[in-house]
């Protein structure tokens, strides 16, 4: 089944389009050496009157070379529309380029229609004004002490947030060592509450769970909507799964998560069962409209999940991470660092447990290896949490996680999406019983960094 947006997720074709429209001269000027899709998000509207508002938001990374110049990385944010809404958006906020034949609006990073302040944290001269000097060490505690600033984009979610790593060099006569810090810039003011929440978590982990840590927040700058964070050293946790220390690492992760659930204060954001069910209903409608051949599978799954949830009188509420998986973890010596608390709130602790269990199946592991690691993690979590896990409720959360991964394939407009979604929905129907049969059927859109 083809879709009008398919051409925008063909990286090779889009590289050719950028070349032809931005640098059309074949004899001189920059050459596009490669194009990579760093981000894709399909926003669908179902109603007949509003369907034209549907769009696909993307971020492209281009490797570009000029005659006599080294290759460099450029990023472009683009939005493709089904209808003519692009004209309305361009009129409202402007764009760097608008290609009406493609119904495509394009912005060159760091220009972003919903983060007009983003250039202020990307430009080294402009960001100088906003650094958290009060929390920086001697040699970096005033603007004039900083000699040079270099920014590197770690993750860019167009129109939502952008995370950068900053490398600072000092003017100090004593020759202070280079300093690193991170800045997470948001489209709205939620960075302030993120700062408060992370500060509480940091203090708790420093006092009580020193092997399971979070980055120390350094401050929040309201003018550029940026949360400043101290860097955490470490290597991605996924590399430890098959290592000799893998069993101990899994146990430590499970214990750390249980402690976080027990010790962290419940924040204002609520992850309620009713919200999960509403989310299931909304996403099911979109999948049904896009893939009518999956109607029986979707209807059966939705009916079962709604029916099971109706039989429960309540769940154990605690602080939860909200997006707990391997890519959120770094290992440094005997410490495990947890990243990205954007989705944290109050909810069912089993949501985090299920998220981790399901995520194990989407790496270079056999199904038996993933199942064994999952059992070990669950046993260690239950021992540390000191409460009996209701398996039926855990199974419900596991099924919902598989459904969420199926919807993510649709949202990212992946190639071969109908087959991938069908496979994931089948796993969602089977839950814990079917987890051992899963394969990496739905790799996520890659996230890369661009050096600026």
Vertex 155, ends 39 and 113: CA angle to 5°?
A: 70
Peptide bond into 110 cis (omega under 30): yes
Do 394 and 270 meet the contact criterion of CB atoms below 8 Å apart? no
What's the pLDDT tens digit per position in 379-421? 999 999 988 888 999 999 999 999 999 999 999 999 999 999 9
Which pLDDT belongs to residue 363? Answer: 87
Packing angle, helices 246-263 and 367-385, rounded to 10? 40
E-strand ranges in 66-160 read 72-81, 97-99, 104-108, 146-157
Which pLDDT belongs to residue 275? Answer: 87
Which pLDDT belongs to residue 63? Answer: 93
Which pLDDT belongs to residue 210? Answer: 73
Which pLDDT belongs to residue 129? Answer: 95
Which pLDDT belongs to residue 433? Answer: 67
Residue 307 CA to its chain's centroid (Å): 30
d(CA 321, CA 421): 26
Do 450 and 153 meet the contact criterion of CB atoms below 8 Å apart? yes
Which pLDDT belongs to residue 434? Answer: 55
Which pLDDT belongs to residue 439? Answer: 40
Which pLDDT belongs to residue 25? Answer: 79
d(CA 83, CA 19): 25
Count of CB atoms within 10 A of residue 136's CB? Answer: 21
Question: Which segments in the chain show pLDDT lower than 70?
Answer: 1, 26, 48-49, 67-71, 84-93, 174-176, 244, 268, 313-314, 433-452
| Token digits of residue 375 | 């059992």
d(CA 42, CA 307): 29
Do 412 and 40 meet the contact criterion of CB atoms below 8 Å apart? yes
Which pLDDT belongs to residue 87? Answer: 64
Which pLDDT belongs to residue 244? Answer: 67
**Closest-CA residue to 400 (of 346, 345, 355):** 355
- 108 SS3 class: strand
Per residue, the 3-state secondary structure of 384-418, as one string, reads: HHCCCCCHHHHHHHHHHHHHHHHHHHHHCCCCCHH
Q: Is 91 exposed, middle or buried (0-12, 13-18, 19+ CB in 10 A)?
A: exposed
């Amino acid at each position: 089944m083809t879709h009008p947006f398919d051409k925008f997720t063909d990286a090779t074709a889009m590289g050719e389009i950028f070349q032809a429209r931005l640098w059309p001269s074949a004899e001189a000027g920059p050459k596009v050496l490669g194009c990579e899709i760093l981000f894709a998000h399909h926003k669908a509207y179902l109603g007949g009157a509003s369907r034209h508002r549907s769009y696909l938001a993307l971020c492209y990374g281009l490797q570009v070379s000029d005659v006599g110049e080294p290759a460099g990385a450029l990023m472009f944010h683009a939005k493709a529309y089904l209808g003519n809404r692009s004209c309305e958006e361009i009129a409202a906020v402007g764009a760097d380029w608008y290609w009406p034949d493609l119904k495509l609006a394009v912005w060159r990073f760091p220009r972003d229609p919903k983060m007009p302040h983003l250039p202020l944290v990307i430009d080294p001269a402009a960001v100088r004004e906003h650094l958290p000097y009060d929390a920086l060490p001697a040699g970096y505690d005033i603007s004039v002490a900083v000699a040079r600033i270099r920014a590197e984009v770690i993750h860019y979610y167009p129109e939502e947030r952008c995370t950068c790593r900053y490398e600072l060099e000092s003017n100090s006569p004593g020759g202070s060592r280079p300093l690193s810090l991170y800045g997470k810039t948001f489209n709205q003011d939620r960075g302030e509450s993120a700062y408060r929440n992370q500060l509480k978590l940091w203090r708790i982990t420093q006092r009580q769970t020193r092997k399971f840590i979070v980055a120390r927040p350094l401050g929040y700058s309201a003018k550029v909507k940026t949360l400043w964070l101290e860097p955490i050293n470490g290597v991605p946790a996924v590399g430890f799964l098959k290592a000799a220390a893998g069993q101990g690492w899994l146990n430590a992760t499970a214990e750390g998560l249980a402690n976080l659930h027990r010790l962290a204060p419940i924040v204002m954001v609520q992850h309620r069962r009713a919200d999960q069910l509403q989310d299931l209903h909304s996403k099911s409608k979109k999948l049904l409209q896009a893939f009518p051949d999956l109607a029986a599978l979707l209807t059966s799954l939705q009916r079962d999940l709604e029916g099971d949830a109706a039989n429960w009188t309540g769940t154990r509420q605690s602080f939860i991470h909200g997006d707990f998986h391997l890519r959120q973890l770094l290992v440094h010596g005997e410490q495990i660092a947890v990243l990205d608390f954007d989705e944290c709130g109050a909810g069912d602790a089993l949501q985090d447990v299920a998220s981790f269990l399901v995520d194990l199946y989407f790496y270079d592991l056999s199904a038996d290896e993933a199942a064994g690691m999952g059992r070990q993690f669950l046993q260690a979590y239950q021992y540390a949490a000191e409460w009996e896990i209701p398996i039926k409720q855990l199974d419900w959360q596991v099924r919902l996680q598989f459904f969420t991964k199926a919807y993510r394939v649709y949202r990212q407009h992946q190639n071969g999406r109908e087959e991938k979604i069908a496979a994931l929905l089948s796993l969602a129907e089977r839950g814990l019983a079917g987890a051992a049969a899963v394969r990496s059927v739905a790799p996520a859109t890659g996230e890369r960094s661009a050096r600026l």
